[in-house]
Amino acid sequence: MFQNTQVAQHDTPAAPRQATAETVRRKTIAPAVDIYEDAQAVTLFADLPGVPREKLDIRVHDGHLTIEAVPAEVTPSNVRVSYAEERVPFFARRFVVSDDFDTSRIEANLKDGVLKLTIPRREAAKPRQIQVNIG
């Protein structure tokens, strides 16, 4: 699937930016990601169940793409939680992005718990056909 690109070369859970008491107690989960590549772009589909747009953070810095997200806590309005065994997880995933891709033009879409990121190739990195002259 990835012959010459580095999009998935280094794929590790990202550490939370600030270690607060709340984030230390959270369970960090690397969400499942499907990656598709063609001559125009690379597309990532990340499973982020229960994550609202407001709690999704996508960053690109120094050739790294980082996805961090927190699902919404679902507690009925008439219930007050005194003690909970299960904590809301913290989703985190990090990728190295090759220079072949234009990270300034990333498109992101979140629908039904699936994040779709499309990273287009730079024009210079797209395949092109070379015309052969005779004579």
Partner residues linked to 28 by β-bridges: 90
Confidence of residue 20 (pLDDT cuts 50, 70, 90): low
Confidence check: pLDDT of 114 > 50: yes
Whether residue 90 contacts residue 27, with contact meaning beta carbons closer than 8 Å, is answered with yes
Q: So where are the chain's domains?
A: 11-74+84-124
Whether residue 123 contacts residue 41, with contact meaning beta carbons closer than 8 Å, is answered with no
**pLDDT the model gives residue 133:** 87
What are the DSSP calls for 45-111, one per residue?
EEE-TT--GGGEEEEEETTEEEEEE-PPP---TT---S--SSPPPEEEEEEE--TTB-GGG-EEEEE
Whether residue 119 contacts residue 7, with contact meaning beta carbons closer than 8 Å, is answered with yes
The pLDDT tens digits for 37-89 are 998 999 999 999 999 999 999 999 999 999 999 998 777 788 887 877 767 78
Written as one letter, the residue type at 56 is L
Tell me how far CA of residue 119 lies from CA of 42, 56, 129, in angstroms. Answer: 5, 18, 22
**pLDDT the model gives residue 77:** 81
Task: Give 22's Cβ-side CA count (13 Å radius).
Answer: 5
Mean pLDDT of the 19-23 span = 50
Higher pLDDT, 58 or 10: 58
Mean pLDDT of the chain, nearest integer:
81
Q: Which residues contact 135 (CB under 8 A, 6 or more apart)?
A: none
Mean pLDDT of the 20-37 span = 77
**pLDDT the model gives residue 125:** 67
**pLDDT the model gives residue 132:** 87
Higher pLDDT, 80 or 14: 80
Where is 25: in which H helix or E strand? Answer: helix 21-25
Mean pLDDT of the 101-114 span = 94
CATH number belonging to domain 11-74+84-124: 2.60.40.790
